[in-house]
Amino acid sequence: MFCLKNKIFYFLILSCLPAKTPFEYTIGITSGYDNNVMRFSSEEFHEAAKDTKLMGGAANFDSFVYRIGISGKKSIWESEKKELFINGMVNWADYHHNAERKYWSGGLDATYRWGSYKNIKYSLRHLDKFYLRHYVDRDVSTTSLAPCAFTDRNNYVTLTQKFGWGQWVNFGAGYLQRYYDIPFTEFDLDIVYTRGKINKRVKKVGTVAFQFERGHATNVTFEKTAKASGFDRSYETMEWYLPIKVQKRIPFLNEIGVSTRVETRVYEAEDPYDPLHSGRNHVDSKYDLWIKKNLTESMKVTLSGRYRTRVTESAYDWVTDLKSFNQLQFWCKVEWDLVYDRY
């Protein structure tokens, strides 16, 4: 997979290329709280209280979270309105009350711009060993638990085009590889998706956008590993996203934002011996609220909160109870925008 040291090394090399432009970078520190780290359903909260093995060694259902991130931008080439630039970012996260949930993520962007809201961008994202929780390893027994974590590598291309005053659209397509650590490789997925977004700048208010995404996940290890791979975990997914930002005429603050993101997932499994996936679908909704304040020209703070709910439909009531959950998160992020100019 993608190596952290190599990624940082390549980005630093690019930042030192002989283009006579400054290297812009941002350092961010975030603290937060998650009330349901392992996404337990109501039924699982009761079961874990009786059987602590389900907690995977964690002492709490919730946790305080600490994150640190570094991002940077470097212009490689400029000519009138045309420009080629790169962006890079690396983030580390530590869940204080859950020792298994420590991970890093990062990525690179390469963007060619030929005018205002006119550009094409290639993006690479990596999420490394994101722990979910302990699950039963069914290749071994019906009771033996093991930590379950996955790694994402996401490649996508986005085309942005302006149309009319204060309006622009984004079209893109991506390829996401979601591969699980041993012993849960039977869940490995290749996900192909397309995405479209319409953006509108509202005069004297801010911006509003609507995004729609459609994708298909193929279970690439179906019937290729141990006995647990005999069930097909492929699915169809559809998602819409609506963010609204108020950035004008706000007392004290610089931005107030709200957003709604709703994903509908339908599993393709039809095997009656796989009740966990057969005929199952769910609606995963995320509601976000945030406020932003610029403390100085180079320093800003953002307070945010998220309420997430997943409602699962299945012919089996126990599957509905098992896979539905609620989650509440709060975050405080402080960022410093800095510039390094060798010239």
Residue 1 pLDDT: 44
The number of CA neighbours under 13 Å toward the Cβ of 72 is: 20
Quote the CA–CA distance of 323 and 223 in Å, as a whole number.
Answer: 24
Please state which of the four CATH numbers 3.40.50.9100, 3.40.50.300, 2.40.160.40, 2.40.50.100 is assigned to the domain occupying 4-340.
2.40.160.40
Which amino acid belongs to residue 4? L
CB 173 within 8 A of CB 194: yes
| Cα separation, 52 vs 58, whole angstroms | 9
| Residue matched to tokens 């085309």 | 159
Query: Structural domain boundaries of the chain?
Result: 4-340
Q: Which tokens in the block code for residue 325?
A: 């959950």
The residue whose two tokens read 């995977």 is 56
Print the SS3 string covering the chain: CCCHHHHHHHHHHHHCCCCCCCEEEEEEEEEEEECCCCCCCHHHHHHHHHCHHHHCCCCCCCEEEEEEEEEEEEEEEEECCEEEEEEEEEEEEEECCCCCCEEEEEEEEEEEEEECCEEEEEEEEEEEEEEEEEEECCCCCCCCEEEEEEEEEEEEEEEEEECCCCEEEEEEEEEEEEEECCCCHHHCEEEEEEEEEEEEEECCCEEEEEEEEEEEEEECCCCCCCHHHHCCCCEEEEEEEEEEEECCCCCCCCEEEEEEEEEEEEECCCCCCCCCCCCCEEEEEEEEEEEEEECCCCEEEEEEEEEEEEEEECCCHHHHHHHCEEEEEEEEEEEEEEEECCC
- Rounded to whole angstroms, the Cα distance separating 55 from 65 reads 18
**Interval 128-146: pLDDT, tens:** 999 999 988 877 776 788 9
Structure tokens at 34: 């998650």
Tokens at residue 301, please? 């703070």
- Each residue's pLDDT, cut to its tens digit, for the chain (343 residues) gives 445 545 555 555 555 555 567 888 899 999 999 999 999 998 889 888 888 888 888 889 999 999 999 999 999 999 888 999 999 999 999 999 999 999 999 999 999 999 999 999 999 999 999 999 998 887 777 678 899 999 999 999 999 999 888 999 999 999 999 999 998 998 999 999 999 999 999 999 999 999 999 999 999 998 887 777 778 889 999 999 999 999 998 999 999 999 999 999 998 877 666 666 677 889 999 999 999 999 999 999 999 999 999 998 877 777 787 789 999 999 999 999 988 776 5
Backbone φ, ψ for residue 129 (5° rounding): 50, 60
Q: Cα–Cα distance between 134 and 146 in angstroms, integer?
A: 5
Which candidate, 146, 154, 96, 148, places its Cα nearest to that of 125? 154
pLDDT score at 173: 98
Model confidence, pTM: 0.90
Parallel, antiparallel, or unpaired for β 235-246 and 118-136? unpaired
